[in-house]
Amino acid sequence: MTVNYRAAVVIPTKNAMPVIQRVIAAVLRQQTPWPYQVIAIDSGSKDGTREYLRGVDGIQLIEIAPESFGHGRTRNLGASRADADFVAFLTHDAEPVDVHWLANLVAAAEQDDRIAGVFGRHVAYPSASPFIKNDLDRHFDGFLAHPLVVSRDLDPARYEADEGWRQMLHFYSDNNSLLRKSIWESLPYPDVEFAEDQLWARSVIEAGYAKAYAPDAIVYHSHDYSASEQLRRAFDEARNFRKYFGYRLSPRLLPALGSMSHFAVQAWRQTLDEDRYGRIGASDRHRRALQRIALVAGHYLGANHERLPRSLARRLSLDNRLFEA
């Protein structure tokens, strides 16, 4: 196949209005020294997303049935249709912050032919709570304490012995990422319902390739979940981190209860840079306390899901298919 593009951008969509309009506009404004391709894959939107995408010049739209969607499967479809050296992925609610996002992702990958994938920085939308803004900044600032290009070869003994080090090496987020298509052709995404991005990153790291962080390839992406949404998302996260990676998040009751108490108190006492994050109101602190309690509770329940009545586990999960697999 003759490669016509240096990069392609693939965006899975489902009922994404109106945010998808901002995302597409930001993608089409990218400034690059080479042409790039834009592919959207819609899985049965009913809110006007499909109709909007059909009318945008410069986008290749692929429409699939809702039941055929899979996080890894659908991204593999997008990569297979990309006529490019590199394939970038966004989710339909991740908006590039500036016109250099795509060029910065590609530049990070171009440092070394062994780099299989690149992930970029997330910052919170301006409307997000001060706590969410701080959480994202702290998370992505943490990667700056390590080399921007990492591989298993950095410390093979530590990779075998240190679970936290392995987690850092395989962290990867398809909200804002880019892969080298030639490596993807031999190591495609796994067809799973959870963490397809981190599972893929682990596979390329263990195959001897490298992964890069591009702190200047930035997207807006954040969520202020309700307590019930946070509980259910944490439940699925803990269940599937245990299933796919062997990690047990908050598996014991007494430490989990202690963490809930700690986080609840912290929400009311924590101070942040007001000039950077804005003033923290009482409603922000109350919401934060509930979110953090729900996070730990969800992790505990998910780590011990096999002890729960199956009907309860299915109600707790945001995606019942996880429990039918």
Q: Write down the domain spans for the chain.
A: 5-220, 227-324
- Mean pLDDT for all residues in the chain: 94
3-state secondary structure (DSSP) of residue 144: helix
What's the confidence (pLDDT) of residue 267?
A: 95
What's the confidence (pLDDT) of residue 2?
A: 54
What's the confidence (pLDDT) of residue 16?
A: 96
Window from 74-83, 103-112, 314-323 with minimum mean pLDDT: 314-323
Write down the number of H helices and E strands in the chain.
15, 9
Instruction: Give the mean model confidence (pLDDT) for residues 23-36.
Output: 98
Architecture of the domain made up of 5-220: Alpha-Beta Complex (3.90)
Between residues 242 and 120, which one has the greater pLDDT? 120
Query: For 134-147, how does the pLDDT look when each residue is reduced to its tens digit (9 = 90+)?
Result: 999 999 999 999 99
Which amino acid, residue 268?
W
Band of the pLDDT at 3, cuts 50, 70, 90?
low
What's the confidence (pLDDT) of residue 141?
A: 97
The CA–CA distances, whole Å, from 276 to 133, 254, 284, 296 equal 9, 36, 16, 27
Band of the pLDDT at 219, cuts 50, 70, 90?
very high
Tokens (6 digits) for 18: 């109106």
H helices of the chain, where?
19-28, 49-54, 71-81, 101-109, 130-141, 156-161, 163-170, 181-184, 196-206, 227-245, 253-269, 274-277, 282-303, 310-316, 321-324
3-state secondary structure (DSSP) of residue 11: strand
Band of the pLDDT at 223, cuts 50, 70, 90?
very high
